[in-house]
Amino acid sequence: MARLIVPQKSFHELSPVDPVLPMNCVIESSYVVDGHGEYSIRVARISNDPAFSWVITKRFREFVELDNLLKDYGFNFDLPKKKLFGNTDPIFMAERQKGLQAYLNILVQHIELCNSLTVHRFLDPNSHLISYPESALQHVSMFVRSMTDVYQIIDPLQDFGWRYDKMYFLATKTGRPKHERYLLIWCHYGLDKALHEKVIENCLKLLKSISHPLIAPIEDVYANESGILTVCRFYNRGSLKDYIYRTRPACGVYWSRYGPTITTRRCDINQIRTLGRQILEGLYFLYDNHLMYGHLHSGNILVDLEQSQTIKIVDIANVIAGVSSKYRHYFSELKYIRTLEHCDIYSFGRLLYELSTGEECPMNICTELPHIIPMPVQQILSKIFITSGELPTIEQILNEPFFQMMFLNGVERLQLTLSEKALEVFQRIRRTAEQRLENDQIKIKSAQRQSKITNHLMSAEEKLKRRREKQAKALEKQMESSFTSADTTKNVPRPVIVNPLPSTTSQQSSSPSFVSQLSSPSISVVTAASDDRNDLLSSIAEFNVSKLKKTKTNDRSAPKLDREKDIIIYQAMASSSNMPDSHSNYTEWMRNLPEYLHNVPVTKLALPGTHDSFAFRLTSQPGPDLAPVLRHLRIFIRPIIKNWSITQDKNFTGTSSLITVKYVLWTLFLLEQLRIGIRYFDLRVCCTRDKHAYSRSPFQFTHGLLGDFVRESLEEINEFLNKHSKEVILLDFNHFYDFNDQCGHDQLIHLIHEVFGKKLCTTAPTIHDCTLNYLWNHKQQVILLYEQDPSQCSAYMNRVGHFFKVCQSPWANTARVDDLFLFLDDKITTSRPTTCINVVQGQLTPDSASIQSNPFGSLRAYARESNPRLIEWLSYRQRDPSLANGVNVVICDFADQAFANAVIMLNYKVSR
């Protein structure tokens, strides 16, 4: 049953928290009450989130009672020893508090044990005041009466399963042999309940009608406002978990059968192949017929090794009741688990691990598998236990050679025919469960990130750093006070020495008056100093900042320019270009958007961008992405390579008033990318090869030839953002060359964070949360998109401030204009998800044959052909890729004001 917890900050709202999520316990204080010690414990779900926590008070005696119960189950945790006398001594209570904290830390690591009613009533007594067996018996009795006493209850099975709110009753059925037993299973609704009770009962009746050799049949169903009841045959041989733990279902309570002292067994490779293939076939049947499961584990697989069909999957009604899976806490920690099918695939990997080793996998993913796992199984697990990427489908795992070696007798792939209404109902169940899973993943990730930040800030090193900063500021204030009161201080007969870092841990306060400093503990009076030292310190005391004169610096580092010649060339180019008189509307077009768009995610806005954005000023040096053949011939065909490499003729900010002859060939002062409204930048980066230039920036842009240095170009963008605080840009780093340990992803991301600082979006959990209002309120202007596997960015993979692989950017890869727009039409006619950036690539890509037939052509010539057609094509589109013909980011080569304006104006069209 979902437990309702009162958040700390709002006592009038109730928030449901999933009881299978991990717990955290912190003993906040200990004190003496009525002659005995008590301990105040804060318990939290969702990884220390203070909004979902509560405080309990426990005596040591209650810890002892809990420990005795756990010892009966075979758990032997290290509880501090008793003490008859002096147990209220403050020093002793502090030591005991440390021991009890260690005890709780070990306890909460056993997540399945924490789901038992014993632990729940210890850590959350107020939420478990009812008697679950009595409550379940009332509902079961109502069902039995409604069936005119067809079933006769023999015995309630106490603590039969791992869920504290799921009850089991052993029964017989009228007209059936007495030795044939039935299991009546009562289950309370969970947080994923998506339907009304009547609809739920109809869904249960549909499941009852399923007949499949690998699915345990349901005999009867019942649903009311509190939960559901299902009836199935009682299998004496038990589950796959019973087989592994060498027990039977009638051998006592759950932890007596599966406790840590039980000797388990492993399955051989043939058993793993047989069981695994049959489980996959059962799952395939469910998902192929638009049903779902999401609750796969060894306890839900009935097994009889003497039968041809060895297994039967049970509890297929759990998903309709909306209860959480046993492995819910693992699903919530892995971002690539997004669907119920993903949940079952991941759970199947854990099941293979358990069959191979005889024990459950102790962590969410296992990158180093034990050697006792057969090699074919290890190969399958390596595709399931991944750190990022996409999980294989059930069908793909079925097609693995390991499972194809086995032939199944008597199992045919059956097909169900569901009505449209039934399909819609099951889709609603699926959406509800997957949406809550996504929300939990966001909450847990945010809480973990906050916990890391808190731990970092509370570390001894960080505290020392902050203390030094405060003392340095205090010292600076003291010196300023001394300088402004020189007339007073020069009459002081003895000099002083200020110690900025006193040896004591307490911070010394600074005094505004220099005279009062003589009594400060951080100041020592020197009584036996030399005359020279006295003169020096007296000079320091008489120092006055206002007496300093300004110095003139002759900067010879800038390149020598022919000023008049450069200005003449620049003015000639500017006057010959067809540029608008004013660009203020485009420079700050995001600020001027209609107010109703301020709360729309950037994934639904129309944003103009450029393809290979930094390929506007290229050197003659070959880049690592240049073909080896062209690399050797570059001396002879350098102009040809450059013509086919340059994709833009505008730099970023155009803030320089003087432009060199070489630079002006690629730059127009008033038509710069940012100033014409470009807000998305497509970037290719390589490591700097020139050792002398490495100090300027370890990274350069590249597109066939090497381009500008990354640091200098990003600093240009940063200057633009300083002047336009409401403009937001997206930097998409998607191609990386020659990266290594010294010059790699961690260093690049660090450089980006160093340049933009607080302007980077570092608080939004997902790209969909990035609205203009959200970014403006947080004073954030840069969204970093990083198209790289986060596992290769170890220092930053858990840090918000960059979004890994959140761009969908289909590439037409054609040199023909008609083919390009046929491709684009095909991609945008259907709705696309807005949980990522959707890029429309509107540029042509000449192939080698096109270049050979016209070697003196250029990408600019192709852009002249495609860009006017692209602008016309955009006039029939709208913003928001979730709509038909909707776009998000549009990019092209040689972007100009007409293109940028065509994209920006889509934000003013009424979406339909």
Region of 329 on the Ramachandran plot (φ > 0 left; ψ -120 to 50 alpha; else beta): alpha
Region of 243 on the Ramachandran plot (φ > 0 left; ψ -120 to 50 alpha; else beta): alpha
The tokens for 710 are 């990354």
The tokens for 11 are 């006592």
Mean pLDDT score, 737-764 = 87
Backbone phi, then psi, for 499, in 5-degree steps?
-100, 105
Residue-averaged pLDDT of the chain: 79
With CA atoms as reference, report the closest residue to 409 among 243, 602, 545, 213.
213
Nearest-angstrom CA–CA distance, 67 and 95: 19
Sign, CA dihedral 433-278-381-395, equals negative
pLDDT at 782 over 70: yes
3-state SS, 595-608, equals HHHCCCEHHHCCEE
At residue 657 the predicted structure's pLDDT band, cuts being 50, 70 and 90, is very low
Instruction: Check residue 824 and give its pLDDT.
Output: 93
Least confident of 58-62, 434-438, 544-548, 854-858: 544-548
The tokens for 824 are 């684009």
At residue 155 the predicted structure's pLDDT band, cuts being 50, 70 and 90, is confident
Percent of the chain's residues with pLDDT above 70:
77
Instruction: Check residue 176 and give its pLDDT.
Output: 87
- Neighbouring-strand partners of residue 601: 771
Nearest-angstrom CA–CA distance, 62 and 36: 12
Look at the block and give the residue holding tokens 């080793």: 357
Nearest-angstrom CA–CA distance, 361 and 692: 51
At residue 615 the predicted structure's pLDDT band, cuts being 50, 70 and 90, is confident
Nearest-angstrom CA–CA distance, 649 and 617: 8
Mean pLDDT score, 257-279 = 91
Nearest-angstrom CA–CA distance, 387 and 67: 36
Nearest-angstrom CA–CA distance, 704 and 621: 9
Instruction: Check residue 550 and give its pLDDT.
Output: 54
Nearest-angstrom CA–CA distance, 262 and 267: 16
Contact, 223 vs 200, CB < 8 A? Answer: yes
Mean pLDDT score, 69-96 = 87
Instruction: Check residue 838 and give its pLDDT.
Output: 94
At residue 482 the predicted structure's pLDDT band, cuts being 50, 70 and 90, is low
Cβ count within 10 A of residue 682: 26
Least confident of 75-84, 443-452, 547-556, 847-856: 547-556
Mean pLDDT score, 826-840 = 90
> What three-state secondary structure class fits 16?
strand
Q: Following DSSP, what letter does each residue of 689-711 receive, concatenated? A: --TTTTTT-SEEEEESEEEEEHH
Amino acid at 824: L
> What three-state secondary structure class fits 856?
coil
pLDDT at 505 over 50: no
Instruction: Check residue 229 and give its pLDDT.
Output: 94
- 385 versus 663: the higher-pLDDT residue is 385
Instruction: Check residue 664 and give its pLDDT.
Output: 36
Alpha helices in 702-760 (DSSP H): 710-723, 745-756
Contact, 879 vs 906, CB < 8 A? Answer: yes
Q: Following DSSP, what letter does each residue of 200-226 receive, concatenated? A: HHHHHHHHHT---TTBPPP-EEEE-SS
Sign, CA dihedral 251-255-257-263, equals negative
Each residue of 16-26: pLDDT tens digit?
667 788 888 99
With CA atoms as reference, report the closest residue to 385 among 430, 438, 340, 330.
330
Instruction: Check residue 16 and give its pLDDT.
Output: 61
At residue 7 the predicted structure's pLDDT band, cuts being 50, 70 and 90, is very low
- 76 versus 704: the higher-pLDDT residue is 76
Mean pLDDT score, 653-677 = 50
- 597 versus 389: the higher-pLDDT residue is 597
Q: Which DSSP helix (H) or strand (E) runs through 887?
A: strand 886-887
pLDDT at 403 over 70: yes
Q: Give the E-state strand segments of 759-877 in sequence order.
A: 782-786, 803-804, 807-808, 837-841
Instruction: List % helix, strand, coil for the chain (3-state, nearest 5).
Output: 40, 15, 45
Which amino acids are annotated catalytic?
A: 611, 703
In angstroms and rounded to an integer, the radius of gyration of the C-alpha atoms of the chain is 35
Instruction: Check residue 21 and give its pLDDT.
Output: 81
At residue 362 the predicted structure's pLDDT band, cuts being 50, 70 and 90, is confident
At residue 493 the predicted structure's pLDDT band, cuts being 50, 70 and 90, is very low
Nearest-angstrom CA–CA distance, 484 and 478: 10
Mean pLDDT score, 561-583 = 39
Look at the block and give the residue holding tokens 């008590």: 38
pLDDT at 476 over 50: yes
Instruction: Check residue 441 and give its pLDDT.
Output: 86
Mean pLDDT score, 458-486 = 69
Instruction: Check residue 839 and give its pLDDT.
Output: 95
Nearest-angstrom CA–CA distance, 37 and 15: 32
> What three-state secondary structure class fits 420?
helix
CA 910 to each of CA 201, 887, 899, 906: distance values in angstroms, whole numbers, following the listed order:
44, 13, 20, 8
- 250 versus 543: the higher-pLDDT residue is 250
Q: Which DSSP helix (H) or strand (E) runs through 817?
A: helix 817-828
Chain mean position to CA 816: 40
pLDDT at 576 over 50: no
Contact, 182 vs 405, CB < 8 A? Answer: no
Neighbour-count burial of 322, counting CB atoms closer than 10 A to its CB (0-12 exposed, 13-18 middle, 19+ buried): buried
> What three-state secondary structure class fits 394?
helix
Instruction: Check residue 909 and give its pLDDT.
Output: 84
Instruction: Check residue 499 and give its pLDDT.
Output: 40
At residue 268 the predicted structure's pLDDT band, cuts being 50, 70 and 90, is very high
> What three-state secondary structure class fits 64?
helix
546 contact partners, CB below 8 Å, separation of at least 6: none
pLDDT at 668 over 50: no
pLDDT at 242 over 50: yes
The tokens for 90 are 């403050």
Amino acid at 651: N
At residue 372 the predicted structure's pLDDT band, cuts being 50, 70 and 90, is very high
Backbone phi, then psi, for 511, in 5-degree steps?
-105, 140
3-state SS, 445-456, equals HHHHHHHHHHHH
Cβ count within 10 A of residue 745: 22
Each residue of 728-745: pLDDT tens digit?
999 999 888 888 877 888
Q: How far apart are the first and last CA of the chain?
A: 43
Backbone phi, then psi, for 517, in 5-degree steps?
-65, -20
552 contact partners, CB below 8 Å, separation of at least 6: none
Chain mean position to CA 577: 47
> What three-state secondary structure class fits 681?
strand
Q: Which DSSP helix (H) or strand (E) runs through 888?
A: none
pLDDT at 502 over 70: no
pLDDT at 841 over 50: yes
Domains of the chain: 23-125 (3.30.1520.10), 130-433 (1.10.510.10), 589-907 (3.20.20.190)
Cβ count within 10 A of residue 723: 11
Sign, CA dihedral 437-443-446-451, equals negative
